[in-house]
Amino acid sequence: MGPVRTELMWQSVVDAVDVAGAGDALDVLDLGGGTGSDAVRLAALGHRVTVVDPSPDALASLHRRGVEAGLTEGVNAVQGDAADLLDHVAPSSFDLVICHDVLEHVDDPGQALATISTVLRPGGHVSVVVAGRNAAVAARALAGDFVTARSLVGRSAGTWDVRSMGPRRFVVGEVEDLLTSRGFVPVATTGVRVFADLVPSAIVDTEPGARDALYALERLLSTSEDFTALSAGLHTIARLDLSVATPDPGGKSAAL
Ligand SMILES: C[S@@+](CC[C@H](N)C(=O)[O-])C[C@H]1O[C@@H](n2cnc3c(N)ncnc32)[C@H](O)[C@@H]1O
**Does a structural domain hold residue 46?**
yes
E strands within the chain? Answer: 27-31, 48-53, 75-79, 94-100, 120-131, 184-192, 233-240
158 CB near ligand 1 (under 6 Å): no
Atom 26, ligand 1: residue with shortest CA distance:
34
Residue 133 resides in a domain: yes
**Ligand 1, atom 19: closest residue by C-alpha:** 106
In a domain, 248, yes or no: no
What CATH number should be reported for the domain holding residue 72? 3.40.50.150
User: pLDDT by residue for the chain (256 residues), tens digit each?
Assistant: 788 999 999 999 999 999 999 789 999 999 999 999 999 999 999 999 999 999 999 999 999 999 999 887 889 999 999 999 999 999 999 999 999 999 999 999 999 999 999 999 999 999 999 999 999 999 999 999 999 999 999 889 988 989 888 999 999 999 999 999 999 999 999 999 999 999 988 888 888 899 999 999 999 999 999 999 999 999 999 999 877 555 555 443 333 3
Please indicate, yes or no, if residue 80 is contained in any of the structural domains: yes
Against a cut of 0.95, is the pTM above it?
no
Q: Is residue 99 part of a domain?
A: yes
What's the gap in Å between 36 CA and the centre of ligand 1?
A: 10
Number of independent structural domains in the chain = 1
Determine the structural domain holding residue 19 and report its residue range: 4-240
Pocket test for ligand 1, best of 62, 105, 192, 235 (most atoms within 8 A of CB): 105
**Do 86 and 57 meet the contact criterion of CB atoms below 8 Å apart?**
no
- How far is residue 137's CA from residue 116's CA, in Å, rounded to a whole number? 30
CB-neighbour burial class of residue 29 (10 A; exposed 0-12, middle 13-18, buried 19+): buried
* Residue 82 CB–ligand 1 contact under 6 Å: yes
Amino acid at 8: L
Q: Is residue 217 part of a domain?
A: yes
Tell me the best of 86, 101, 102 to mutate to test the pocket of ligand 1, counting ligand atoms within 8 Å of each CB and taking the most. 102
Residues 6 or more apart whose CB falls under 8 angstroms from that of 91 comprise 118, 119
CA of 30 to the centre of ligand 1 (A): 9
Residue 18 domain-assigned? yes
| Residue 79, domain member (yes or no) | yes
